[in-house]
Structure formats: structure tokens, C-alpha cells
């Protein structure tokens, strides 16, 4: 079927001002890609600009959604755009690297097609428990009360909040009650809500780890909060300078498994940061993005278990199930629940009741625990295969990160992370440079790549592993 032509009155692209993308005789997809490149090249779409969802842009331009999805995907592969974990698409912050000295795009003449995805933070979507989830959806939709089909409480369905509270107490050691759980659409949206509430309360500075998920710093800046960097060493975030930072209102940590460096916050530092929060009357934001996946021992309990009044917990089903479910939860101290719910009520679309009730059933039936156990065994096996292959074939490569999560860090003498990423691209392999997660102002000289081992399907794992070994040799 041929591509639909663009209607002239809808060519602006949701205020993106992309210009006409359907000139006679031109392929619509190619025209749209050129329009995006031109908008980025001229600065009309600046690095970090959030783009509309593919569905909305397709409607606005009068195109098929598959066309826009393909354009986004190809521009991501070229480096013009970046796919945010659980948070949409934005103009790449490294897009300037694609410009020539005169500001003209350097589009590769023959861009390699990526066959293998070893980026960090992506679960094996092919292992999503479809049958169990479908049964959960059918049961919950069939039995849902009529009121469930109406407008959704921004606090979240009470059924889900109750089972999440019980699950987190059992599996992660939290001290919580259903009233403290707020359902959200993922960790990124959860942090945005928290940042907005802190800013409204007068917080101007939040400490973050010098390496972190690249959505954290923008979320704080967007709320008008200044991020202050904490060094990270083998014992986790170095918290020794907290008392020396004036006007610090909170600290954001990944204590169970630091992202991306893969270390745990040691027990003395866990106790110290809780003491600091109590003494200063401040808040700890705990991002527990993959806390269920520890392979050498039982998972370390969440920091929130040490003080439910000073730690706000961020959790998500993105790593344990799938990011496309758009399911996350905040466990909020009593004094902040009302503010978080109020902020969510007017600023965010709620998670649909079907997924909320299906997740309730999924946890209550034991399917969630069974799935996590199965994936924990699979990821443990893959991690071991990956490390053994590297040690056998590339002995000079340094492997770091504890036996947890969905990725490891690799460092090679004489090769930068950027070079390894380029070598991987020639093998049609996607990995991420450590530099991507370094916050501006960091003094660390660490370099390398973050390599995931979860995303490939069972049939694609061996090919991805072989491509990585060729990259490292």
C-alpha cells in the first residue's frame, strides 16, 4: 500500500514546524526524516527537546503511525534522536556531533542496520508472560465493578495499592501501607511528580550521583531544582559532603544497585544518609529500578525499610515485566501523600484501570513471583555466560558491577567507550558509552561501556554475545 499524502493544513507537526513533508514525487518517510534533520541542524529542535508520541504526530501529519514509528527508529539509530526509558523520545543531546564544521549534517552514506541490542536497562520482552497476563486481564475486566470504567482516582486503584504494599513489604522489606502507595506511569513520571512537589515546597537543590540515568538530571532542572553531584566509588555514593552543601533539600540515590556503575551502597553509608535526613529534616529519594534481580545472594532490602518517614521509594514494573505497561509506584511518607496525589491529579494522565487491575491479579495469583524467579534464573545464566566468554577471549577487558541487575560495565585499556560503541556498530550491535550517563561537572575519569544482557530473545542471545566478543577482540 502506498504512503498517504500529507494534507497541507496539517503539515506543521504539532507545532514542530517541520515544514511540508509530502512533496510530489518524494517518499513521505524520507521527506519526514529530512525535515527532522533540518529542524535539528538549524536549532529549531534543540538537544533535549521532547517529541510528541508517534500516534499523535501521525494523526497531526495525516500519516500512518507505522511511518512515524519507523522515522523515529531510524533517526535514533543515526543518533539524531534518543529513546528515553519509559519516557518517550527526544532530540539527542549528542546531535551536535552529527554536524560538520559549517553546521551541515554528517549522515553516513551507508548506515549499518542494528541486529543486536545489548543496551542497559532493557528486559527480555520476548519472555513477557502473555498467557498469564491475558488471563489476568480477562478475569479483572469480567469482574470489575462498573465504577472502574469511570474517571480514575489519581491515587491509583485501591486494589493495586494494597497488593503492591504487601508485595513490597514481603519482597523488598518496606514499611508501608496502601495509603502511602501512589500509582504512576513509570519511574520517570514518578520522579517528575516528586521534583514538582519538592520545588513547590521551596527545595532548590537535590544531590544526585555523578553517574545516573540520563532522565534524572533533566527532571530536576525542569522543576527548577539544581542538581548537586555526589562522587561514586566502590562503596556507592560518597555522602561525606552532604552536610557541607547549603540549602540541600533531598538526595536521589540508587542504593541497591547503583546505575550504571553497578555497586551497592554499603551499610555504614546507608545508615549515615538516613541519619543525615533525620538530622536535617530532608528527604531521600530511593530509585529501586531493578531491586529484585540479585544473583549471588538474596536481594538487599530497600533503604526505605530503615525509615519510612524520610525515604520516598520509586518502583516500577519496567524491568521486571515490560516498560510498555506504563506501571510504576511511589511509596510516599505520610506528610507528602496529599501533595503528590494533587500534583498527579492535574499534571498526569492516570494509568488505565485495566492494567492496574490486571497487575493486582498478576501479583495476587503468584504469577508475578513466578515470572521474576524465571527471569532471575535466565539473567543469572546470561550474565555468567557473558563474563566467561569475555574472560576466555578478551582477558584484558575489565568487567565491573556486582552480580545484579540487567547490565555490566566493560573497560578496555587503550580504547575509549566511544570507540567501543563505534566498533560495536560495525558488528550491528547496540551498546552504550559510560559517558552517556556522566553528569556535567563530574570529575571521574572512568571510561568504558555499559552492556546489557537481558534484551535479546532466547534465539538472539548467542548472536549478540558473539557480536560483542568480536567488538572487544
**Which tens digit of pLDDT belongs to each residue from 243-270?**
999 999 999 999 999 999 999 999 999 9
- Cell reading at 185: 506511569
Lowest-confidence region among 56-60, 185-189, 407-411: 56-60
Position 421 pLDDT exceeds 90: yes
pTM value is 0.76
Q: Cβ–Cβ contacts within 10 Å for residue 201, how many?
A: 12
- Rounded to whole angstroms, the Cα distance separating 253 from 247 reads 18
User: 250 - beta bridge partners?
Assistant: 206, 283
Identify the pLDDT of residue 84.
Answer: 74
Position 106 pLDDT exceeds 50: no
374 pLDDT band, cuts 50/70/90, is very high
Position 97 pLDDT exceeds 60: no
Any idea where the domains of the chain sit in the sequence? 8-111, 130-366, 369-472
pLDDT tens digits along 218-243? 999 999 999 999 999 999 999 999 99
Q: Does domain 8-111 have CATH number 3.40.50.720?
A: no
Task: Check if the beta carbon of residue 385 is closer than 8 Å to that of residue 394.
Answer: no
Pick the more confident residue, 78 or 415. Answer: 415
112 pLDDT band, cuts 50/70/90, is low
pLDDT tens digits along 289-303? 999 999 988 778 899
CATH of 130-366, one of 1.10.1490.10, 1.10.1040.10, 3.40.640.10, 3.40.50.2000: 3.40.640.10
Average pLDDT over residues 443-451: 94
Identify the pLDDT of residue 155.
Answer: 93
Position 1 pLDDT exceeds 50: no
Position 346 pLDDT exceeds 50: yes
The label of the residue with cell 497541507 reads 8
Identify the pLDDT of residue 69.
Answer: 83
- Cell reading at 313: 521509594
Identify the pLDDT of residue 161.
Answer: 97
Identify the pLDDT of residue 99.
Answer: 55
Average pLDDT over residues 350-370: 93
Position 15 pLDDT exceeds 70: no
- Rounded to whole angstroms, the Cα distance separating 165 from 401 reads 30
Closest by CA to 197, choosing from 349, 86, 333, 48, is 333
Position 66 pLDDT exceeds 90: no
- HEC assignment per residue over 425-451: HHCCEECEEHHHHECCCCCCCCCCEEE
At 463, which helix (H) or strand (E)?
Answer: helix 461-472
Position 77 pLDDT exceeds 50: yes
Position 369 pLDDT exceeds 80: yes
Pick the more confident residue, 24 or 275. Answer: 275
Q: Does domain 369-472 have CATH number 3.90.1150.10?
A: yes
Position 10 pLDDT exceeds 70: no
18 pLDDT band, cuts 50/70/90, is low
Average pLDDT over residues 424-439: 94
Average confidence score pLDDT of the chain? 88
Average pLDDT over residues 426-452: 94
Position 279 pLDDT exceeds 80: yes
Identify the pLDDT of residue 468.
Answer: 97
- Cell reading at 328: 510504576
Strands (DSSP E) found in 27-137: 50-51, 81-84, 88-91, 116-117
Identify the pLDDT of residue 150.
Answer: 87
Chain Cα centroid distance, residue 310: 24
Lowest-confidence region among 53-62, 244-253, 352-361: 53-62
Average pLDDT over residues 50-65: 83
Identify the pLDDT of residue 39.
Answer: 84
Q: Give the CB-side neighbour count of residue 164, counting CA atoms within 13 A.
A: 28
- Cell reading at 2: 502506498
7 pLDDT band, cuts 50/70/90, is very low
Identify the pLDDT of residue 423.
Answer: 93
273 pLDDT band, cuts 50/70/90, is very high
DSSP summary character for residue 173: -
Identify the pLDDT of residue 24.
Answer: 39
Average pLDDT over residues 394-412: 95
108 pLDDT band, cuts 50/70/90, is very low
Amino acid at each position: 500500500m502506498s504512503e498517504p499524502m500529507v494534507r497541507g493544513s496539517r503539515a506543521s507537526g504539532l507545532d514542530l514546524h517541520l515544514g511540508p513533508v509530502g512533496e510530489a514525487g518524494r517518499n513521505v518517510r524520507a521527506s519526514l526524516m529530512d525535515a527532522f534533520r533540518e529542524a535539528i541542524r538549524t536549532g529549531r529542535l534543540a538537544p533535549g527537546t521532547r517529541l510528541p508520541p508517534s500516534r499523535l504526530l501521525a494523526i497531526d501529519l495525516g500519516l500512518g503511525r507505522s511511518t512515524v514509528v519507523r522515522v523515529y527508529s531510524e533517526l535514533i539509530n543515526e543518533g539524531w534522536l534518543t529513546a528515553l526509558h519509559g519516557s518517550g523520545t527526544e532530540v539527542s543531546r549528542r546531535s551536535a556531533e552529527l554536524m560538520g564544521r559549517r553546521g551541515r549534517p554528517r549522515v553516513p552514506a551507508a548506515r549499518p542496520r542494528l541486529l543486536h541490542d545489548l543496551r542497559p536497562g532493557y528486559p527480555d520482552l520476548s519472555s513477557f508472560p502473555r498467557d498469564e497476563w491475558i488471563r489476568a486481564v480477562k478475569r479483572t475486566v469480567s469482574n470489575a465493578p462498573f465504577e472502574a470504567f469511570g474517571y480514575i482516582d489519581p491515587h491509583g486503584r485501591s486494589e493495586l495499592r494494597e497488593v503492591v504494599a504487601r508485595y513490597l513489604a514481603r519482597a523488598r522489606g518496606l514499611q508501608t501501607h496502601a495509603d502511602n502507595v501512589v500509582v504512576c506511569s513509570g519511574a520517570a513520571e514518578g520522579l517528575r511528580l516528586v521534583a514538582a512537589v519538592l520545588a513547590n515546597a521551596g527545595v532548590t537543590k537535590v544531590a544526585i550521583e555523578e553517574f545516573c540515568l540520563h532522565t534524572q538530571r533533566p527532571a530536576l532542572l525542569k522543576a527548577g531544582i539544581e542538581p548537586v553531584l555526589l562522587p561514586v566509588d566502590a562503596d556507592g555514593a560518597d555522602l561525606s559532603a552532604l552536610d557541607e552543601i547549603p540549602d540541600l533539600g533531598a538526595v536521589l540515590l540508587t542504593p541497591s544497585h547503583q546505575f550504571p556503575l553497578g555497586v551497592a551502597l554499603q551499610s555504614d553509608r546507608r545508615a549515615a544518609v538516613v541519619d543525615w535526613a533525620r538530622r536535617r529534616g530532608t528527604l531521600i529519594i530511593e530509585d529501586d529500578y531493578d531491586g529484585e534481580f540479585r544473583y549471588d545472594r538474596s536481594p538487599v532490602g530497600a533503604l526505605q525499610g530503615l525509615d519510612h518517614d524520610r525515604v520516598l521509594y520509586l518502583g516500577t514494573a519496567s524491568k521486571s515485566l515490560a516498560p510498555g505497561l506504563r506501571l510504576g509506584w511511589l511509596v510516599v511518607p505520610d506528610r507528602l501523600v496529599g501533595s503528590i496525589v494533587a500534583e498527579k491529579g492535574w499534571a498526569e494522565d492516570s494509568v488505565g484501570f485495566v492494567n492496574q487491575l490486571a497487575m493486582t491479579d498478576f501479583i495476587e495469583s503468584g504469577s508475578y513471583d513466578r515470572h521474576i524467579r524465571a527471569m532471575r534464573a535466565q539473567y543469572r545464566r546470561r550474565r555468567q555466560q557473558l563474563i566467561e566468554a569475555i574472560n576466555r577471549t578478551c582477558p584484558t577487558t575489565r568487567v565491573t558491577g556486582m552480580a545484579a541487575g540487567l547490565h555490566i560495565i566493560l573497560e578496555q585499556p587503550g580504547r575509549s567507550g566511544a570507540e567501543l560503541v563505534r566498533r560495536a556498530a560495525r558488528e550491528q550491535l547496540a551498546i552504550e558509552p559510560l559517558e552517556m550517563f556522566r553528569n556535567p561537572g563530574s570529575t571521574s575519569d572512568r571510561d568504558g561501556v555499559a552492556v546489557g544482557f537481558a534484551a535479546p530473545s532466547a534465539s538472539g542471545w548467542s548472536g549478540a554475545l558473539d557480536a560483542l566478543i568480536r567488538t572487544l577482540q
